[in-house]
A and B are shown apart, each in its own frame.
Chain A
Amino acid sequence: MNQRYLIPLTAVFLLFLLAYTGVEGLGLQVVFGVLIPYLAVAAFLIGFVIKVKGWAASAVPFRIPTTCGQQKSLPWIKQNTIDNPNTSAGVFVRMLLEIFAFRSLFRNTKAAFNRHASNRLSYSWEIFLWVGALAFHYAFLVVLLRHLRFFTAPVPGCIQLIEYLDGIVQVGLPGLFISGPVLLLAALFLLSRRVLDAKVSYISQAADYFPLFLIIGIAITGIAMRYFTKVDIIGIKELTMGLATFHPHIPEEVGGLFYGHLFLVSILFAYFPMSKLMHMGGIFLSPTRNMANNTRAKRHVNPWNYDVPIHTYEQYEDHFRDKMIEAGLPVDKKE
């Protein structure tokens, strides 16, 4: 048995059950519906800010972008202004593509070695991780934005537009939002890579499986509520609006499934800042991507640059003077 995924899987199950039974059996609606969500959001905001401030507090002593294209040098050589930017505008475009289109991941290749036949190493374009990651992140974003409906009254037009587009296939009743199943499938794909791909499995830790199971749990409970158990949506909106307006209110008709869902979301929020999920913030600050490759054109200053002992020319000449004179090399002092 592989503890690295069984423990996180069990943990997510237990967390769900904890909330479900807490509400259904012990009537702890206030704890799981009000107290924990508030604490989770607070933990998320505070943790996120602390983490990013921690990064920002560290110096950037050298300008060391990873260059992925032709530099700017001679005027007749065409520069790759995006992958090797020398201006802030170029860096901006590079970062935009990195953040919104996962440009680096798009380059991904898969290496294969053909022993005996040709002894050839070959590299093929490996697009699936990029597709899976993009589907996962955008589906998650849409789901998140759609949920703002529960925290706003009246619901802003942009949220309604997202809902309209998300439900544009017009299948089923209530109408299918594509983002839900896409999120679930993409998360399952990412999970299957971790389990099935020997290399990814080798590097995976429980801390990689846990957020995946958590998000899968959130997606399943969400989908279950919307399409299958048909929860009391009016009641839920009363609760969420109560949270949003700081007038918490526990409706009568909302059952344990919803509280389980909300609790998993709360765990995700609280867990976020202390986990690898902080890549969301880190990508903006990554010095190999967010700096211009113009170090020779514009001096970069290291805030902690300090003087170091060096071997001076004078010391060098003192050491070798006779040999230098004999070899006819110029010297500053003749003796």
Chain B
Amino acid sequence: MADELTPDEALDKIDYRPRSSSEPRNWLDTTKSVQIRPGMYCYAAKPESVETLGLPNARAWNPTDEDWKLPENWQEILHNGIKERLERFRTFKIFMDVCVRCGACADKCHFFLGTGDPKNMPVLRAELLRSIYRNDFTLAGKILKKLPGGQRLLGARDLTLDALKEMWYYFFQCTECRRCSVFCPYGIDTAEITIMGRELLNLIGLNIDWIATPVSNCYQTGNHLGIQPHAFKDMLDFFVEDIEEITGVNCAPQYQKKGADILFVTPSGDVFADPGTYTCQGYLILFKYLKEKYGLDVTWSTYASEGGNFGFFTSHETMKRLNAKMYAEARRLGVKWILGGECGHMWRVIHQYMDTMNGPADFMEVPVNPITGTRFDNAASTKMVHITEFTADLIKHGKLELDKSRNANRIMTFHDSCNPARGMGLLEEPRYVIKACVDQFYEMPPNTIREQTFCCGSGAGLNAGENMELRMAGALPRANALKYVHEKFGVNTLGTICAIDRAALSTLCEYWVPECEVAGVHELVGNALILPGEKERTEDLRMEPLPGVEEE
């Protein structure tokens, strides 16, 4: 937990009026004074993890040390890296050129709202890199930097070690949530800039361990948590036992089954940590139901046992290397299409990158739900369907028997995860599923949901333990909206469709709104779904008494 700060102390620190009178007028003069502060940064990557994928400059280093053990020609590497990316990404080039610093994005960032640190204004986060772009890559910069005071006129600066450290610090205080991009009149996407920034930092070995180690695990073992195949099966077996105890039905899944209809991929967090585990049990119950009732053949894979992709937070290339497993496994098993579990950034990668990177997926069929006959034309090329699209379709066609009363203790609201909301537009599907499983549902205020949703504060690889002050500050806007509906409507459960959310929002609740807990959408499905041949349930998936059972 945020060891040093209580919620009240954290709130005391918030001030949206940047700059005290003692500070320099121009932020360009504040770079040297940036302190990499415990609680706000993540530990450096372990060299072993960086080596697994052969990424550059693996070594032990510490962000708070003076010497970061950089390659001698690090400036040259970065310069060439920027140059290459300007050619490869039109987004990057345009976003470097067109910002007018209107300030519309300034108070849209959860990290700014939670910390008041002016360098967490999205525009300024981008300016950290833009100031170097202007200095080294524009005509005006090349001329003006030769004149005394010329750099200041343009807002340009040299790529010094201090500037590098400042960029590192702040690019790992961005969760790539894209909220600022919704409000930008030119659609400048800070996520894109952070992605480039981190990719550049990766070139000289400035990774954080919370990203590098999951990446290494995922590459070698198949998932971020490094769960080996037999252990993965053990964990699911454990869920199967729990479900059997609760429902009397054995929901054992299939693994690596060649010729199955559907390959199911979900983030490994759901296998590992509460409350994601209950969501995972929900999947098992759903697939069992569909198998029994309609003969749907779903397989899991221990090789492609990770939906999430921390490679996305490292570099485009690393993202591609990790993502490749999904299509590779679908091809090997000969499935018709892929179904994806509840996860945030996983779905940004699948929706906006996968087919382009590792496609075409012409060895599969256009996804059709064999039970309802619905053809998922929106996934015709990528051949991967989101589980809430799938379940919503089943419910709409009356194919699921749901007993809402088993969720009657839940007064729900829904947290739109950043990536499905702003990198996809998956807004109604999860709500539809929730409302089919739960009676009481209340939305949080409109400026905090749907495309304007606030990040959990721990996305994009920042859900480590050592940066808890940062995480809880970034979580404030979401927590504040949750607290509002908790107080107004008695909301006690925050629904979500993201594995990182399930972990991060639980910590958020504990810290800011202890009266609320977090549930994945398919946990609700798992509770409500009436399995063929089940015994009378007295407990929900959390092994807590079902509503109404206690009194009897």
Contacts and interface: CB of A to CB of B under 8 A. Distances in A.
Nearest to B23: A202
Contacts of B384: 296
Interface in A46-66: 51, 54-64, 66
Given A62-B356, A204-B101, A206-B153, A113 B425 contact: no
B113 A285 contact: no
A126 to B, nearest CB: 9
Contacts of B139: 274
A123 B447 contact: yes
Contacts, number: 330
A112 B89 CA distance: 36
Interface in A76-133: 76-78, 80, 83-84, 86, 98, 102, 104-105, 107-113, 115, 119-121, 123, 129, 133
B186 A279 contact: yes
A283 interface: yes
Contact of B393 (A74, A84, A275): A74
Interface string A284-313: 011111000111111111101100111111
A207 B89 contact: no
Contacts of A197: 103
B93 A73 contact: no
Nearest to A119: B11
Interface in B65-108: 86-94, 97-104, 106-108
Contacts of A172: none
A294 B351 CA distance: 9
Contacts of A300: 355-356
A74 B87 contact: no
Most-contacted residue by chain B among A55, A80, A299, A328 (CB, 10 A): A299
28 contacts: A3-B25, A58-B87, A58-B93, A64-B192, A66-B189, A66-B422, A67-B451, A68-B422, A74-B393, A74-B396, A77-B432, A108-B104, A108-B183, A123-B447, A203-B106, A278-B98, A279-B186, A286-B98, A287-B90, A296-B351, A299-B359, A299-B382, A304-B88, A310-B324, A311-B219, A326-B230, A330-B257, A330-B258
Contacts of B228: 320, 323
Given A59-B89, A74-B392, A285-B90, A295 B97 contact: no
B429 A73 contact: yes
Which one of B19, B329, B378 has the greatest number of beta carbons of chain A within 10 Å?
B378
A2 interface: yes
A218 B235 CA distance: 72
Contact of B230 (A80, A109, A308, A323): A323
Interface in A228-277: 274-276
Interface of A: 2-4, 7, 51, 54-64, 66-74, 76-78, 80, 83-84, 86, 98, 102, 104-105, 107-113, 115, 119-121, 123, 129, 133, 193, 197-208, 210, 274-276, 278-279, 281-283, 285-289, 293-302, 304-305, 308-313, 316-317, 319-320, 323-324, 326-330
B364 interface: no
Nearest to A74: B393
A329 B389 CA distance: 30
A134 B106 CA distance: 20
Nearest to A113: B14
- Nearest first, the 5 closest Cβ-Cβ pairs linking A and B are A71-B425, A282-B98, A205-B155, A327-B230, A288-B187
Contacts of A113: 14, 16, 113
B477 A121 contact: yes
A297 B98 contact: no
Contacts of B377: 297
Contacts of A279: 98-100, 185-186
A108 B447 CA distance: 10
Interface string B199-220: 0000000000000000000011
Interface in B250-272: 255-258
Contacts of B234: 327
A150 to B, nearest CB: 29
Contact of A55 (B94, B99, B379, B396): B94
A53 B208 CA distance: 37
Contact of A105 (B99, B155, B185, B189): B185
Interface string B120-143: 010110010000000000111000
Given A202-B124, A297-B381, 7 more contacts: A61-B88, A68-B182, A112-B16, A276-B98, A282-B94, A323-B230, A324-B302
A70 B378 contact: no
Contacts of A102: 185
Contacts of A73: 376, 378, 389, 426, 429
A255 to B, nearest CB: 31
Contact of A293 (B14, B355, B424): B424
Interface string B415-458: 00000011111111100100000000000010110111000000
Interface of B: 11-12, 14, 16-19, 25-27, 54, 86-94, 97-104, 106-108, 113, 118, 121, 123-124, 127, 138-140, 152-155, 178, 181-189, 192, 219-220, 222, 228-230, 233-234, 255-258, 302-303, 316-317, 320-321, 324-325, 328-329, 332, 350-353, 355-357, 359-360, 374, 376-382, 384, 389, 392-393, 396, 421-429, 432, 445, 447-448, 450-452, 476-477, 480-481, 484
A286 B359 contact: no
A98 B233 contact: no
A198 B101 contact: no
Nearest to B233: A327
A77 B379 CA distance: 15
B18 A105 contact: no
Nearest to A302: B356
B88 A84 contact: no
A200 B426 contact: no
B421 A329 contact: no
B354 to A, nearest CB: 9
Nearest to B393: A74
A203 B127 contact: yes
B379 A98 contact: no
Nearest to B86: A58
B549 to A, nearest CB: 35
Contacts of B94: 55, 282, 285-287
Nearest to A322: B230
Please indicate which of the listed interface residues A2, A55, A203, A299 has the most CB atoms of chain B within 10 Å of its own CB.
Answer: A203
Given A74-B396, A295-B356, A305-B356, A282 B97 contact: yes
A309 B448 CA distance: 41
Contacts of A63: 352, 356
Contacts of B356: 61-63, 295, 299-302, 305
A296 B392 contact: no
A313 B327 CA distance: 11
A59 B19 contact: no
Nearest to A294: B378
A299 B381 contact: yes
B90 A293 contact: no
Contact of A4 (B25, B302, B428, B447): B25
Contacts of A121: 113, 476-477, 480-481
Nearest to B386: A73
A104 B452 CA distance: 12
Contact of A67 (B87, B328, B422): B422
A242 B356 CA distance: 55
Contacts of B427: 69-71
Contact of B154 (A64, A207, A302): A207
B499 to A, nearest CB: 20
Nearest to B134: A207
Given A105-B183, A121-B476, A84 B425 contact: yes
Given A279-B100, A282-B97, A69 B451 contact: yes
